[in-house]
Amino acid sequence: MATIRKKGDYQWHCQIRRKDFPSQTRTFETKADAELWAATIESEMGRGVFRPSAEAENTSLRECLERYLSEIVPLKKSNNREISKVNIIKRHDIANKAMAAIRGADIATYRDKRGHSVAAATVGRELAVISHIFNVARKEWGMESLSNPVESVRKPKLPKSRDRRLEPGELDRLLETTESIELGTIVLLAVETAMRRSEIAGLLRKNVNLLKRTLILTDTKNGESRTVPLSSRAVELLSSKPARISGRVFGMAPDSITQAFDRACERAGIDDLRFHDLRHEAASRLFEKGLNPMEVASITGHKTLQMLKRYTHLRAEDLAKKLG
């Protein structure tokens, strides 16, 4: 039964007490608003669909971000990046709002404001964090009444995927300007296997089987291990590497690979080529060798064919040759 009392000149206090439900209290500016709220809550209780909202109303996004940092982020693979995204969100006004008060308009404002200073992909990743927090809060943190406002707004429009491939002669020029034999081996291995920079840097000698012509990656971006088949050229490259005390095949860290690669491109006069483009190049070459999408995906580690498509760029002139 709802009890509505006037508080001062401009407020109406409404309290609902019903057996088997927690007490619900809210203050309104008009009696009509208080009566409408009471009728709605009592109807939900009667139909068995009521979800308490006090927790969501009294907990700010900032508090949820802190809880997310302590409970969820440690379980994620790329937790340093996740921490960075959380800390960025905490610096914005939206973090001060109660979870129950955040609407799609607030998310859209955050999206548009961030879009003025960072790339659309960055904004999308930050919105994904906020969305995840709302879902966890609803399912695990006692905020069942929440809806996810991120799901109601437009996602930032991502730029067209890169289609940069190696032009004729660029690979030779690049290898001529590398600072070390090791970097040259890494570049060639990336083109042969479609392995990511971090996967190459973390490759362990014990996970390379030259007889079976395979290697196992246990530390991948999506958290799942995969077995990569090796071409004859890849076997030759890996056979040339002496054993290291650390157990790793290569001695370069991921960031060092990128920096050395960029310097080599500059010396070779190669514009707009990133190390990650070698993964695009490798995936495209696998298709050009006649492998089907499932076979290529098993090598590259892509979980969906849509993502694989973003990494594959077949030259029209090569396709024309197949047409006869």
Count of CB atoms situated within 10 Å of the CB of 108: 15
Count of CB atoms situated within 10 Å of the CB of 125: 16
Please report which confidence band the pLDDT of residue 130 belongs to, taking 50, 70 and 90 as the band edges.
very high
DSSP assignment, residue 167?
P
Q: At what angle do helices 104-115 and 120-140 cross, to 10 degrees?
A: 150
Please report which confidence band the pLDDT of residue 222 belongs to, taking 50, 70 and 90 as the band edges.
low
DSSP assignment, residue 290?
T
Give the model's pLDDT for residue 65.
94
Token pair of 65 as six digits: 């971000």
> Mean of the per-residue pLDDT values for the chain?
86
Known catalytic residues are 196, 221, 276, 279, 302, 311
Query: Chain centroid to CA 49: how far?
Result: 34
pLDDT in tens, 43-94: 877 777 666 666 777 889 999 999 999 998 888 766 778 899 999 999 999 9
Which class for 117: exposed (0-12), middle (13-18), buried (19 or more C-beta within 10 A)?
exposed
What is the pLDDT averaged over residues 259-272? 94
| pLDDT(18) > 70 | yes
Token pair of 230 as six digits: 């090796």
Please report which confidence band the pLDDT of residue 257 belongs to, taking 50, 70 and 90 as the band edges.
very high
Contact by Cβ (8 Å): 203, 248: yes
Token pair of 241 as six digits: 């590497």
C-alpha angle 279/258/174, rounded to 5°? Answer: 70
User: Using CA atoms, how far apart are residues 130 and 118, in angstroms rounded to an integer?
Assistant: 17
Contact by Cβ (8 Å): 11, 28: yes
Contact by Cβ (8 Å): 261, 183: yes
User: Using CA atoms, how far apart are residues 194 and 17, in angstroms rounded to an integer?
Assistant: 63
Pairs from 203-210 (Cβ < 8 Å, separation ≥ 24): 203/248, 203/249, 203/250, 204/247, 204/248, 204/249, 205/243, 205/244, 205/247, 205/248, 205/249, 206/247, 208/238, 208/249, 210/235, 210/238, 210/239
Which class for 319: exposed (0-12), middle (13-18), buried (19 or more C-beta within 10 A)?
exposed
Give the model's pLDDT for residue 172.
94
| pLDDT(324) > 60 | no
| pLDDT(316) > 70 | no
Give the model's pLDDT for residue 171.
94
Give the model's pLDDT for residue 12.
87
Beta bridge partners of residue 204, listed in sequence order:
248
Entry pTM = 0.61
User: Using CA atoms, how far apart are residues 106 and 133, in angstroms rounded to an integer?
Assistant: 15
Which class for 43: exposed (0-12), middle (13-18), buried (19 or more C-beta within 10 A)?
exposed
pLDDT in tens, 272-300: 999 999 998 998 898 888 888 888 888 88
Give the model's pLDDT for residue 96.
93
Under DSSP, is residue 252 helix (H, G, I), strand (E, B) or coil?
coil
